[in-house]
């Protein structure tokens, strides 16, 4: 993207600090989890603990606001939020055992039957669930398998039958997260991430 506009980046951070907590959407594509990703990257970019602390507080908000009625979609639901947590752990933004942190979420995902999926999209369908499952299987710390073997077999079979890819790298999914949706807004966290993380 060329030379980084530091003033614009600071304006994005200031705007998101003021307004980010008021978002209702918890998701990774347009909600709080996406803002969390921005602030952890921005903290690493600037070396300022203030932004890391803010990212941690907002991540706590996301986790506290999770509920069983949240959809499993990648865009604004459990798969995207879970993927975000896995991304943060695997990239050493936070420490933790994703098997422990995401155990309930993994169980909720297994209630969804991939063989009957008609929505194949990344944002709200089978591809998004596959991206989440793939990230969990690549976890660097393994205390237990996140999904039982039957579910994994069904998911892999459904993905193959629909012509999708099951194994996607975290960085490839990260680029998709940034590229999908509205980044025209000058103070968008996605615009900021494009400047510092791609």
Q: What is the pLDDT of residues 105-117, one digit of tens each?
A: 999 999 999 999 9
**Does the pLDDT at position 37 exceed 60?**
yes
User: Token digits for 82?
Assistant: 């879970």
Burial class of residue 91 in the structure, from the number of CB atoms within 10 Å of its CB (0-12 exposed, 13-18 middle, 19+ buried): middle
pLDDT at 187: 86
| pLDDT at position 2 over 80 | no
Q: What is the mean pLDDT of the chain?
A: 92
Predicted model pTM: 0.93
Residue 11 CB burial class (10 angstroms; 0-12, 13-18, ≥19): middle
Detail the DSSP E strand segments found in 16-164.
none
Burial 152-167, CB ≥16 within 10 A → b, else e: bebbeebbeeeebebe
Residue 95 phi/psi, 5° resolution?
Answer: -105, 150
Q: What is the pLDDT of residue 32?
A: 97
> Is pLDDT of 170 > 60?
yes
CA 157/CA 175 separation, integer angstroms: 26
In this prediction, residues 146-151 reach a mean pLDDT of: 94
State the CB neighbour count (10 A cutoff) for residue 171: 13
Q: How many CB atoms lie within 10 A of CB 95?
A: 8
């Amino acid at each position: 993207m060329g030379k980084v506009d530091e003033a614009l980046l600071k304006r994005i951070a200031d705007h998101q600090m003021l307004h980010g907590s008021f978002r209702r959407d918890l998701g990774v594509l347009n909600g709080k989890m996406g803002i969390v990703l921005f602030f952890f990257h921005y903290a690493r970019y600037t070396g300022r603990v203030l932004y890391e602390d803010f990212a941690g507080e907002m991540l706590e908000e996301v986790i506290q606001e999770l509920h069983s009625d949240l959809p499993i979609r990648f865009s604004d639901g459990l798969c995207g939020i879970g993927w975000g947590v896995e991304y943060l752990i695997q990239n050493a933004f936070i420490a933790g055992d994703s098997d422990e942190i995401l155990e309930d979420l993994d169980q909720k995902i297994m209630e969804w039957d991939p063989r009957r999926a008609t929505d194949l999209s990344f944002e709200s369908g089978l591809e998004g669930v596959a991206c989440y499952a793939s990230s969990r299987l690549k976890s660097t710390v393994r205390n237990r398998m996140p999904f039982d073997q039957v579910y994994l077999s069904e998911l892999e079979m459904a993905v193959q039958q629909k012509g999708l890819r099951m194994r996607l790298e975290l960085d490839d999914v990260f680029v998709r997260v940034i590229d999908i949706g509205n980044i025209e807004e000058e103070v968008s966290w996605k615009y900021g991430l494009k400047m510092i993380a791609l």
